[in-house]
Structure 1
Amino acid sequence: MDIYLLDWANLLLRWLHVITVIAWIGASFYFVWLDNHLVKPQAENLQAKGVDGELWAVHGGGFYNPQKYLVAPANLPRDLHWFYWESYWTWMSGFALFVVLYLCNASQMLIDPRVHAWGAPWQAVAAALGFLVVGTAVYDIACQTLGRTRAGAIGNDGRVMAVVAVFVVAASWLACQLFAGRAAFLIVGATLATMMTANVAHWIIPGQRKVIAQMRAGETVDPLHGQRGKQRSVHNTYFTLPVLIAMLSNHYGMLHQHPYNWAVLCVLMAAGVAIRIFFVKRHKGVNSWGAVVLALVLLGGLVAWMAPRPQPAAAAASAVTLAQVQAVEAQRCAICHSGEAAQKGVRLDSAEGLVAHKAQIYQQVVVQRAMPLNNATGMTDDERALIGRWARQP
């Protein structure tokens, strides 16, 4: 029953997380696109009201005319729509999923003894949470110390992004030395996602609230709040694709099981940044084909580098019997795939079960090397090779 309820928690939290991710990233992408498509208004009445840019659009059978004020309208409406719950729920649902799947099951999901021998599961849990805290602190300090021009204005994003890039590479390497590969990828992605939500919770929304409070009090609006919010918002848009690929790539054993998995993750995230750069510039009417070429070179190079190398021809091996495979299964797989409580309903404790799942076994054990999970039962390369020969037999 516990496994059954855990699967339901996994499904429902993942569903909620995907829904909120779509809402948040969709809103983020839309506003970046909108900002880059606004044009100076020609109408004198709009200029007099302080409208700095406007756009006419048609969608769903209706016409829309969003307008952006340089600071804020003279007469602030009482009802304003705030975009922050999408971010908060994305982080909360993702963290809840992280707790259910990884932190509450640290011995299996976080820890791989072949990578690092933790003294106790709680130490791995504390270290995983530490990545989120330290990463957010490093980024925030970089923004506050390096994210300004000599005159004190908000700027110098290049220096901030350089610090973030160095931190991400270092964090990727360290995470892959401490945790199971799949968990390491997720932790790096979650660290960036925490930076993003912290931007919304601690800078963008509070800054907007201060501007509104100043307006309602009849005070002069400090433009610094808007500048800082804009800076953090732009940073967030470049974090999105690296976060998404970090979260998705941990489902592919060929990536997180690679000997240089940290480098694989870094290249994937760098390609995500290049792709995002292209679209942001495209919104401004500039075709940054260099960014496209860079993304293709990074991804193409990764595919070529990771491609399986052809093995030298070996002497004809004798056919692998089902009994040999059953012996491996009993030692390496039975703990999770036997009886009514078999994980994912995949039972391998009979000849029929092995034959029925032959293709999945080959994919998960030989190709992806994802099973046994974190190789907790110590399956050897020779055993994987044996299963591979069995699966390829006619």
Structure 2
Amino acid sequence: MEAYLSEWLSLLVRWFHVIAGVAWIGASFYFVWLDNHLREPPDWKKQKGIKGDLWAIHGGGFYEVAKYKLGPEQMPKELHWFKWEAYATWLSGMLLLFVVYYMGSPGYLIDLSKAQLSSGAAIAIGLGSLLGVMVIYEALIRSPLSANGKAFGLVLFAILVVVSWGLFQVFSGRGAYIHVGAVIGTIMVANVFLGIIPAQRALVNAVANNEEPGERVAKLAALAKLRSTHNNYLTLPVIFIMISNHYPLLYSHPHGWAVLAAIGFITAYARHYFNLRHQDVNKPSILVIAAALTVALIWAIAPSPPASSTADSGQAAVTDSTVNALLESHCIACHAAEPSHPAFQAAPAGIALDDLSLLAQHRDKVRQSAVNSHYMPLGNTTGMTEEERAQLGRWLDASR
């Protein structure tokens, strides 16, 4: 019953996290698009303090959107704030981190072949990395470096690569990926909480008090705009990491940290195309380069082709009884119609291996996760050896 309720909790939190994330990132995309499509308004609007406007049609009607240079002549009775999407996404993500990685199966986070970590030590490293990078980011964005966009981007990218590498030395690949995603998500929500919302409050207070926004408000607004731009470039990498836990071919690669760095660069670079496009600057070469880099990455991390057949290689055939014993030792506790592992109510990903016919049916996924990537068993808590993986691979090849 505990495993059953745990799966429901994970499902519901994940569902809410995705909904909140869609709302937050959707709003981020929209407002970046909106800012980049504002056009110079007519004189009568300029006299009212309007900086730019645009017209749009959606849902069967016309919309007229205007952005003021500072604020309207009179504070509106109802003003919509966009902040709870960000807060809800981060809070639900942290709850999911605890439910799945800190309180769930230890194999999702801890890889004993890398580091002999206790659950407490792993949690401390995970949360410490989130806090540490956020503090470094805050120091950087408040420094003169923030005035140089390219230099700041390179420094931030280098920091995230180092964090990715470091987490891969102590966590499982899946655990490292999700923590890098959590680091990025924490930077993004800190941008909202520590920069964007305070700047908006300062502007609102000035307008409400019939005061001319001074230099302090202008600086806060400029920094808030920069933070919003940073968040925009981080959206595609963080979305990719959100779905990456379904693909061990990425995080279980021996150089998974470098794979993640490459993906982060490619996705942020691709986002740059759309940001330019919104400003009527069309550079399709950016997408071509991003696509070429993606193809190169796919080729670079592709697994080696299966070894030649047993007969050709001169190796002894792997018997069914050997594979049955291997499955019993390393797989059946989780991947069974009725798992005996306390963390699972049903076979993960629906892959049950109670029978050799089922193993043959799922041969490609089993080869990728247990033979090529070594992702399974989780954290290798059962101590599966290289010889056993090789035996399993030979049996899978022979079963085709």
1:92 deviates by 0.8
Change (3 A) 1:23 1:339: closer
In the alignment, the residues of structure 1 paired with residue 364 and residue 294 of structure 2 have an alpha-carbon distance, to the nearest angstrom, of 28
Check if 1:361 corresponds to 2:366: yes
Equivalent of 1:268, from 247, 263, 268?
Answer: 263
In the alignment, the residues of structure 2 paired with residue 294 and residue 356 of structure 1 have an alpha-carbon distance, to the nearest angstrom, of 38
In the alignment, the residues of structure 2 paired with residue 85 and residue 386 of structure 1 have an alpha-carbon distance, to the nearest angstrom, of 52
In the alignment, the residues of structure 1 paired with residue 77 and residue 224 of structure 2 have an alpha-carbon distance, to the nearest angstrom, of 21
In the TM superposition, what are the counterparts of 1:51-66 in structure 2 within 5 Å?
51-66=50-65
Find the counterpart in structure 2 of residue 376 from structure 1. Answer: 381
Check if 1:214 corresponds to 2:209: no
Equivalent of 1:389, from 382, 390, 394?
Answer: 394
In the TM superposition, what are the counterparts of 1:48-197 in structure 2 within 5 Å?
48-105=47-104, 107-118=106-117, 120-147=118-145, 155-197=147-189
Find the counterpart in structure 1 of residue 31 from structure 2. Answer: 31
- Cα deviation, 1:189-217, whole Å, max 9, x if unaligned, reads 11011000011111111211111112212
Q: Secondary structure at the match of 1:36?
A: helix
Count of aligned pairs between the two proteins: 386
Q: Are the counterparts in 2 of residues 87 and 197 from structure 1 also a CA contact under 8 Å?
A: yes
Q: Are the counterparts in 2 of residues 268 and 298 from structure 1 also a CA contact under 8 Å?
A: no
1:147 deviates by 4.4
Aligned letter for 2:24?
A: W
Change (3 A) 1:358 1:266: closer
Change (3 A) 1:53 1:271: same
Check if 1:295 corresponds to 2:290: yes
Deviates more, 1:245-254 or 1:179-188: 245-254
Q: Secondary structure at the match of 1:258?
A: coil
Change (3 A) 1:176 1:147: same
Q: Are the counterparts in 2 of residues 182 and 251 from structure 1 also a CA contact under 8 Å?
A: no
Q: Secondary structure at the match of 1:34?
A: helix
Q: Percent identity?
A: 40
Q: Which has the higher contact order (CA 8 A, sep 6+)?
A: 2
Aligned letter for 1:381?
A: E
Gaps of 5+ in 1: 149-154
Deviates more, 1:183-192 or 1:313-322: 313-322
Q: Secondary structure at the match of 2:80?
A: coil
In the alignment, the residues of structure 2 paired with residue 109 and residue 294 of structure 1 have an alpha-carbon distance, to the nearest angstrom, of 34
In the alignment, the residues of structure 2 paired with residue 354 and residue 301 of structure 1 have an alpha-carbon distance, to the nearest angstrom, of 32
Gaps of 5+ in 2: none
Q: Are the counterparts in 1 of residues 53 and 67 from structure 2 also a CA contact under 8 Å?
A: yes
Deviates more, 1:352-361 or 1:327-336: 352-361
Q: Secondary structure at the match of 1:66?
A: strand
Aligned letter for 1:39?
A: R
Change (3 A) 1:25 1:301: same
In the alignment, the residues of structure 1 paired with residue 154 and residue 394 of structure 2 have an alpha-carbon distance, to the nearest angstrom, of 47
Find the counterpart in structure 2 of residue 40 from structure 1. Answer: 40
Q: Secondary structure at the match of 1:58?
A: strand
Find the counterpart in structure 2 of residue 232 from structure 1. Answer: 227
1:335 deviates by 3.0
In the alignment, the residues of structure 2 paired with residue 339 and residue 117 of structure 1 have an alpha-carbon distance, to the nearest angstrom, of 31
- Cα deviation, 1:91-128, whole Å, max 9, x if unaligned, reads 0111110010111247322210111222x221111010
Q: Are the counterparts in 2 of residues 175 and 184 from structure 1 also a CA contact under 8 Å?
A: yes
Find the counterpart in structure 1 of residue 332 from structure 2. Answer: 334
- Cα deviation, 1:238-290, whole Å, max 9, x if unaligned, reads 11111122222232111111111111100000001111100100111112234
Q: Secondary structure at the match of 2:161?
A: helix
Aligned letter for 1:329?
A: L
Aligned letter for 2:110?
A: I
Q: Are the counterparts in 2 of residues 254 and 369 from structure 1 also a CA contact under 8 Å?
A: no
- Cα deviation, 1:33-84, whole Å, max 9, x if unaligned, reads 1111110012x32111111111111112110111111111121202101111
In the alignment, the residues of structure 2 paired with residue 31 and residue 288 of structure 1 have an alpha-carbon distance, to the nearest angstrom, of 21
Change (3 A) 1:357 1:302: closer
Superposition RMSD in Å: 2.1
In the alignment, the residues of structure 1 paired with residue 166 and residue 141 of structure 2 have an alpha-carbon distance, to the nearest angstrom, of 23
Q: Are the counterparts in 1 of residues 112 and 380 from structure 2 also a CA contact under 8 Å?
A: no
In the alignment, the residues of structure 2 paired with residue 294 and residue 335 of structure 1 have an alpha-carbon distance, to the nearest angstrom, of 45
